[in-house]
Structure formats: structure tokens, C-alpha cells
Amino acid sequence: MECGKNIVILGTGGTIAGLAEHAGTGVGYRPAQLGVAELLQAVPDLQQLAGAALQAEQLAQLDSKDMDHATWLLLARRCAQLLARDDVAAIVITHGTDTLEETAWFLQCVLAPAKPVVLTCAMRPATAISADGPGNLRDAVACATDAAAQGRGVLVVAAGRVFSARQVCKVHPYRVDAFDGGEAGPLGWVEEGRVRWAAASMAAVQVQSAPQPPATALPEAESWPQVEVLLSHAGSSAAAALAQVQALCAAGVRGLVVAGTGNGTTHKALDAALDHAQAHGLAVRCTTRCAQGRIVQAQGADDSRVSALPAVKARISLMLELMGWPRTDR
Ligand code: ASP
């Protein structure tokens, strides 16, 4: 890391900034209580490890289960401003675990950053005996300062592993290593303040296939098109599904992601609801609710509605597409 460079740590809340009544509890705490500057103080050698000036900035203070488009817009605009500055080498974002993969994917789609943007988090509040936040923050800064992190886009560091925004997924509600990279595995591991990159990790990096508008082109959040997710499951009810889609249309929803069974199939009870969505001009994407893999189609089949992403990320890609971004869900 060159002298005179800054690493900016943006705080957004989450369990990493959470406080509990008792040090022995890992549940029942209040997330988003400590400021990001206090999080930095819990890692005494952070400055030394970074080899750059650390600047803490509180961008939001929320439980990420409540993440909203307005906060995403704030984050995207601030990141775009910082990344454009020559004196900023990298950004680290502290975030709640619940929607971390969605924020990471959103930022990847709108920033596609050449400089490292690294999200990190914690599964235990800052007051816990086994608090994992300080270690994760230390690992995230180590990753952000690693020369080989350049060009890998938005990354997530948790429990000693590095994931790309595209692959990362929260897979456990309690375990400290709550994230997984699916079939691709992690891009690397952070060990003693150094990243060991997986041999084939560069191949797993998301490359934007088409030029995209800058994050500064995002309109105010109130005008973002709303996209919702419909889940196909055993016992689906035709009447309930139709009522749900009718209500979505009436509420001005513009797009629908269908999380289908297996290889992207949907319960026959959803047929009328999906016909209604199409007749009312909603953009529809289909994906699989399976935790790994993607829909596989016969050669030559029309795949225009098929998304290769999990439903919550397909939702983001479709929302951006409706705002003029190129497709990012292939
Ligand atoms: N509900 C918390 C959040 O997402 C959970 C966490 O951070 O682990 O903000």
C-alpha cells in the first residue's frame, strides 16, 4: 500500500455494532448501537496492519434486515465519490449479516469497482465473549490492502474467508461461519493478516459484460422500480397466488422473480397468477430456489426469462435492468 493513501471504513450497523445485556449471550441483543469509530478501537493494530490512514465514516446505523433502497443509494453514491479519489485506496463496509449478500451484489452491479470494496460483519454482538467482529474487521482491512484484491470487484470477508459478491450467500442463522460461496468455494482465506488466494479465484470474479451507467446515474430511491419475489412450493394455492399477484400489480410493482422448484419449474397453481403478471406488463425472471447451481436448459431453448442468480440477487439485477442497467444475472 502506497504512503499517503487512505482506507475508508463505512459503518452501516448490524450485529458487528451490536450490544447485549450479558457477555454470554449471542442472541437477544440490540444490533446497530456502536459507531464505526468504536469498532476500529477494538482492533488495536488495525492502523499498523493497514499501512495507510484509516478514516471512519458512519453512513447508516441499522439492522440489515431493514435494509432499504434509500440506504443503498446513499452507499452507492458515497462509494462512487470515494473510489474516484486518488487518495482513497480501498473501502471497507461494516454491515449486518442478514442482507449482506444483497448489498454486496447491488454495489457490484452499480460500481464494478477496480479498487477493493470489502464488506464485513459479525454473527456475535460486540459485547459477546466470542465476539467475531474485531477479527472480521481486521481480516477485511487485510484483504482491502492486498494488491491482489484489485480488480476482483466487491468482496465479502467473514470468518477468515473471502467471497465474491456474486457467490456469497448466508447459509446459517447462528454459526459464526455463516457464509458460503456455493460450488465455487471461497476466493481465498485470511490468515494472520494476509490473504491466501485460491488458485483459480480470479476466474470466479464477476466481470461486467456490457458497459454500465455510473452509480451517480441512479435516480432517487423513491422512483426505483419495485421488484418482488414469488416462491413456488408444495401446497401452493391458485387463489392465494392470483390474489398476491393482483395485489402486487395494484401496488405498482414492475417486476417479479419466481423462485421455482428444482430446475426452475413452478407449481401448476401459479399458472394463472403468472399469466396475470405477464398480461399486466410485469417483467418476469425465473430462478431456482435450490441453494446451489443454476437452471440448466436444453440447447436452443429460450432462456430470456431465466436468471442464474438466487432470487434475492435476481431481484436486484432485474430492478437495475428496469432502470437501464445491462443484464447482470446470466
Ligand atoms: N440482524 C442483524 C443484521 O443483519 C444480524 C447480523 O448482523 O448478524 O443487521
Which of 97, 123, 127, 130 has most ligand 1 atoms within 8 Å of its beta carbon, as the pocket-test mutant?
A: 97
Residue ranges of domains in the chain: 6-201, 225-322
Q: Which of residues 200 and 294 earns the better pLDDT score?
A: 294
DSSP secondary-structure letter at 220?
-
Which of 29, 34, 98, 172 has most ligand 1 atoms within 8 Å of its beta carbon, as the pocket-test mutant?
A: 98
Q: Do the domains 225-322 and 6-201 match in fold?
A: yes
Strand partners of residue 317:
none
Q: In the prediction, which pLDDT does 114 show?
A: 96
Q: Pick the catalytic residue: 12, 15, 71, 120?
A: 15
Checking if the pLDDT of 200 tops 80, the result is no
Which of 33, 34, 63 has most ligand 1 atoms within 8 Å of its beta carbon, as the pocket-test mutant?
A: 63
Contact 7, 91 (CB under 8 A): yes
Distance CA 285, CA 306 (A): 6
| Ligand 1 neighbours (beta carbon < 6 A) | 13-15, 31, 63-65, 96-98, 121, 123
pLDDT band at 40 (very low <50, low <70, confident <90, very high): very high
Q: In the prediction, which pLDDT does 208 show?
A: 61
Q: In the prediction, which pLDDT does 181 show?
A: 95
Q: Picking from 17-26, 34-43, 85-94, 261-270, which range would have the lowest pLDDT averaged per residue?
A: 17-26
Largest CA distance in the chain: 64
Q: Which CATH architecture has domain 6-201?
A: 3-Layer(aba) Sandwich (3.40)
Q: In the prediction, which pLDDT does 199 show?
A: 87
Q: Quick count: other Cβ atoms within 10 Å of Cβ 37?
A: 14
Specify whether 266 is catalytic: no
Q: Give the pLDDT confidence of 87-125 residue by residue, as tens digits.
A: 999 999 999 999 999 999 999 999 999 999 999 999 999
Interval 128-148 mean pLDDT? 97
SS3 36: helix
DSSP secondary-structure letter at 78?
H
Span from the CA of 178 to the centroid of ligand 1 (angstroms) = 11
What atom of ligand 1 comes closest to residue 122's alpha carbon?
8
Match 488495525 to its residue by C-alpha cell.
46
Span from the CA of 264 to the centroid of ligand 1 (angstroms) = 30
Which residue's alpha carbon is at the smallest distance from atom 3 of ligand 1? Answer: 96
Q: In the prediction, which pLDDT does 265 show?
A: 96
Give 284's contacts (C-beta < 8 A, 6+ positions apart): 255, 256, 257, 258, 274, 277, 278, 305
Q: In the prediction, which pLDDT does 137 show?
A: 98
DSSP secondary-structure letter at 145?
T
Span from the CA of 161 to the centroid of ligand 1 (angstroms) = 18
The whole-model pTM stands at 0.95
Interval 2-28 mean pLDDT? 91
Distance CA 17, CA 82 (A): 23
Show the CA angle centred on residue 58, arms to residues 56 and 64, nearest 5°. Answer: 125
Distance CA 3, CA 232 (A): 54
Q: Supply the CATH classification number for the domain 225-322.
A: 3.40.50.40
Span from the CA of 15 to the centroid of ligand 1 (angstroms) = 5
